[in-house]
């Protein structure tokens, strides 16, 4: 019998199998000197025992953990280092049962700079790589000193290099081991990247990340995390350029599609449609978060000059996008909207071609149905907004089908309020772009809705303008209301530029068609609530630029026969009159405290806005006083005359004089608007 066998029989193995005793460490040190095989066997017992949570505190208090840390830093045998790392990883694992101070004490020992660097050194060896990663992960999870040490030691670079290392890719790991390695790498990436400048990553990093993202299970936590690393890199200009220089943009598209669950996709041959093979039920919140980030990166990348140089308009990528736009797959629709809308934004001639040659707007109308995915509707509306930029597109877009779709959004009340607000705001923004300098679009907006026979039983607003006004009344969102108010401003300004009016207001081009005068009358008579959004503009004080636009619009309306009646009634609203008095007197024309928009305006521009509010308000009062088409009570005429001529000493007294004549809000708006 050999000496080692004799010693093995004499060793009290229970010292290593059972709860650590005071004599455990001395015996382990003795074995280290006398018997390498017995020493490794004892280490294995201790590493196995470290999985028992009740023993972990004792490992730290008896000096065993310190010994493991020292040994993994100095031992030359890979098996010895592996067992030491196993014991360290378990002793520092937060499973919720170890007392927090004991856990932090163990982690503090492991974070010692000499030991920590030695643990990092084990990442280069096939035998120890997976346990070294687990050790680093357990030490760093929710422990700031260790995470700081990771960043100090540039772990981010080491992990990126590791993903591309043959040791990992060709190391003969089992599937479970490889999954564990990826889990710990991606977890450590999230710890190490927070304060790390990713510009130091190698040029090959995108190829490395895509290798895993495109081939791995799209629903796993590890692949989700690696997609996040792709997004982080693509926030930097260097990697945006590398994406195109290395011909990786279509691979990036594949990674987006796989994030939506589409598998079996070839990077070199993007087909027209994909099959959703794996439902993404797990980690849904993380999956959706990375999808949002990837789409944001796509919007950014496809708006760059680098993209247009790599993929000119009418290239293979646009052909593919047209095909995707017509598909029934929401993710393909979303991607195509993002890319094609950036072409439309880049050049008006491309936007014109997208409407005239490709009829993209017709498909977008179908995608804006509120019952569909709100992300698709919002992307389609953004695309329509860009298509509305060329004046020649506006009449083509603003047809019956388009306005019916818009009305359905404005009248919608049954979808999630957050989605409803975003969709309604985007739809009104599109309308605002379409009606600018386009009286034909305005005419479609106010025209009687020609409902087809299939909808003969439909009961609703007679015009799309009425649908818009109903949206204004129903909505509780200030941004939506203000955007609708901008539409009324733009309608008034557009018609004022085209229609000669008796008082000589802005006659930029003499109208050649009498229909324009009729169009004014249709706008003012089709809905008695037409002026209500302007009340909001002149009453609010957060944005004096919009307040000035509101007063300017009231001046325009006051110079129309029907409009002046509306304006007369509006001035009797308490909030409007108070705002008017302060605007004429200049007493309220100051920067609102804490208003970010005002802080971005320079002194000269701010002074110009103040002057515009004051002059437009004075012009409005003067026009009302001098108008012969309306009758004012003697008391009201006297108050307005005093305001126009500045015959008052105190603003508050003038407001007090008017109080008996004033009413709340919209109570003087005559007529009825459709309600359900």
In this predicted structure, what is the pLDDT of residue 187?
84
Average pLDDT over residues 169-192: 76
pLDDT band for position 287 (cuts 50, 70, 90): low
Question: Which pTM was predicted?
Answer: 0.81
Task: Please give the span between the terminal C-alpha atoms of the chain, in angstroms, as a whole number.
Answer: 98
Q: Is the pLDDT confidence value at 271 over 50?
A: no
In this predicted structure, what is the pLDDT of residue 178?
75
Give 61-126 as a 3 state SS string.
Answer: HCCHHHHHHHHHHHCCCHHHHHHHHHHHHHHCCCCCCCCHHHHHHHHHHHCCHHHHHHHHHHHHCC
Both tokens of 492, joined, read 């008034």
Do 92 and 142 touch, CB atoms closer than 8 A? no
Backbone angles phi, psi at 108, to 5 degrees: -60, -40
Burial class (CB in 10 A: 0-12, 13-18, 19+), 675: exposed
User: Strand pairing partners for 663?
Assistant: 573
Q: Is the pLDDT confidence value at 131 over 90?
A: yes
Q: Which residue has the higher pLDDT, 673 or 495?
A: 495
**Rounded CA Rg of the chain:** 36
Residues 110 and 70: their CA atoms lie apart, in Å, by 10
Do 433 and 397 touch, CB atoms closer than 8 A? no
Do 620 and 576 touch, CB atoms closer than 8 A? no
Q: Is the pLDDT confidence value at 566 over 50?
A: yes
Do 72 and 84 touch, CB atoms closer than 8 A? yes
DSSP assignments along 482-526, one per residue: HHHHHHHHHHHHHHHHHS--TT----SS--S-THHHHHHHHHHHH
Give SS3 for 448.
strand
Average pLDDT over residues 239-254: 96
Q: Using the structure block, give the residue that is written with the tokens 């490794």.
A: 40
Average pLDDT over residues 463-489: 94
Domains of the chain with bracketed CATH: 1-196 (1.25.10.10), 399-522 (no CATH), 528-661 (no CATH)
Q: Is the pLDDT confidence value at 627 over 70?
A: yes
Residue-wise pLDDT for 363-421, tens only, equals 999 999 766 678 899 999 999 999 999 999 999 999 989 999 999 999 987 555 788 89
The pLDDT mean for the chain works out to: 84
Do 269 and 260 touch, CB atoms closer than 8 A? no
Average pLDDT over residues 143-149: 90
pLDDT band for position 546 (cuts 50, 70, 90): very high
In this predicted structure, what is the pLDDT of residue 676?
35
């Amino acid at each position: 019998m050999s000496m080692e066998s004799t010693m093995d029989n004499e060793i009290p193995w229970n010292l290593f199998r059972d709860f650590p005793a005071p004599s455990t460490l001395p015996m382990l040190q003795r074995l280290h000197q006398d018997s390498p095989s017995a020493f490794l066997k004892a280490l294995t017992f201790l590493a196995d025992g470290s999985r028992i949570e009740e023993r972990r505190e004792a490992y730290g208090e008896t000096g065993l953990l310190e010994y493991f840390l020292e040994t993994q830093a100095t031992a030359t045998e890979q098996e010895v280092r592996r067992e030491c790392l196993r014991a360290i990883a378990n002793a520092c694992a937060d499973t919720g049962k170890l007392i927090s101070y004991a856990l932090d004490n163990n982690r503090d020992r492991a974070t010692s700079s000499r030991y920590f660097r030695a643990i990092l050194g084990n990442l280069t060896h096939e035998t120890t790589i997976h346990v070294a990663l687990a050790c680093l992960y357990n030490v760093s999870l929710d422990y700031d000193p260790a995470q700081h040490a990771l960043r100090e030691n540039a772990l981010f670079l080491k992990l990126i290099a590791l993903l591309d290392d043959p040791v990992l890719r060709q190391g003969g790991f089992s599937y479970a081991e490889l999954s564990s390695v990826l889990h710990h790498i991606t977890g450590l990436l999230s710890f190490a990247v927070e304060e790390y400048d990713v510009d130091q990553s190698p040029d090959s990093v995108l190829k490395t990340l895509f290798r895993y993202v495109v081939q791995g299970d799209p629903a796993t936590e590890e692949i989700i995390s690696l997609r996040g690393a792709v997004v982080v890199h693509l926030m930097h200009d260097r990697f945006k350029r590398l994406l195109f220089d290395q011909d990786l943009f279509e691979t990036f598209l594949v990674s987006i599609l796989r994030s939506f669950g589409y598998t079996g996709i070839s990077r070199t041959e993007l087909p027209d449609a994909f099959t959703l093979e794996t439902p993404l039920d797990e980690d849904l919140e993380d999956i959706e978060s990375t999808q949002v980030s990837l789409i944001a990166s796509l919007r950014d990348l496809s708006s760059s000059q680098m993209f247009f140089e790599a993929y000119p308009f009418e290239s293979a990528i646009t052909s593919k996008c047209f095909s995707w736009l017509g598909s029934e797959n929401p993710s393909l629709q979303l991607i195509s909207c993002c890319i094609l809308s950036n072409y439309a934004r880049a050049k008006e001639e491309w936007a014109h071609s997208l409407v005239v040659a490709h009829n993209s707007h017709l498909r977008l109308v179908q995608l804006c149905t509120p019952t569909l995915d709100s992300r698709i509707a919002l992307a389609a509306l953004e695309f329509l907004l860009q298509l509305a930029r060329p004046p020649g597109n506006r009449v083509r877009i603003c047809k019956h089908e388009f306005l019916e779709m818009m009305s359905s959004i404005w009248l919608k009340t049954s979808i999630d309020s957050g989605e409803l607000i975003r969709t309604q705001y985007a739809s009104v923004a599109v309308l605002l772009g379409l009606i600018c300098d386009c009286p034909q679009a305005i005419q479609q907006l106010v025209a009687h809705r020609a409902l087809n026979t299939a909808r003969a039983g439909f009961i609703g607003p007679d015009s799309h303008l009425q649908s818009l006004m109903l949206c204004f009344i129903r909505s509780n969102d200030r941004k939506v209301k203000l955007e609708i108010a901008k539409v009324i401003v733009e309608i008034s300004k557009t018609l004022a530029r085209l229609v000669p009016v008796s008082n000589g207001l802005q006659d930029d081009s003499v109208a050649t068609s009498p229909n324009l005068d009729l169009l004014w009358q249709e706008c003012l008579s089709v809905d008695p609530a037409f002026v209500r959004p302007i009340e909001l503009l002149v009453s609010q004080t957060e944005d004096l630029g919009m307040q000035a636009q509101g007063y300017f619009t009231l001046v325009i309306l006051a110079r129309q026969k029907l409009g002046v009646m509306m304006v007369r009634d509006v001035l009797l609203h308490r909030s409007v009159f108070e705002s008017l008095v302060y605007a004429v007197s200049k007493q309220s024309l100051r920067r609102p405290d804490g208003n970010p928009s005002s802080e971005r305006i320079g002194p000269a521009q701010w002074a110009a806005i103040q002057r515009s509010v004051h002059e437009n308000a004075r012009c409005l009062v003067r026009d009302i006083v001098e108008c012969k088409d309306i009758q004012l009570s003697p008391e009201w005429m006297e108050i307005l005359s005093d305001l126009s001529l500045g015959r008052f000493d105190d603003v508050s007294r003038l407001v007090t004089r008017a109080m008996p004549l004033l009413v709340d809000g919209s109570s003087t708006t005559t007529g009825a608007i459709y309600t359900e």
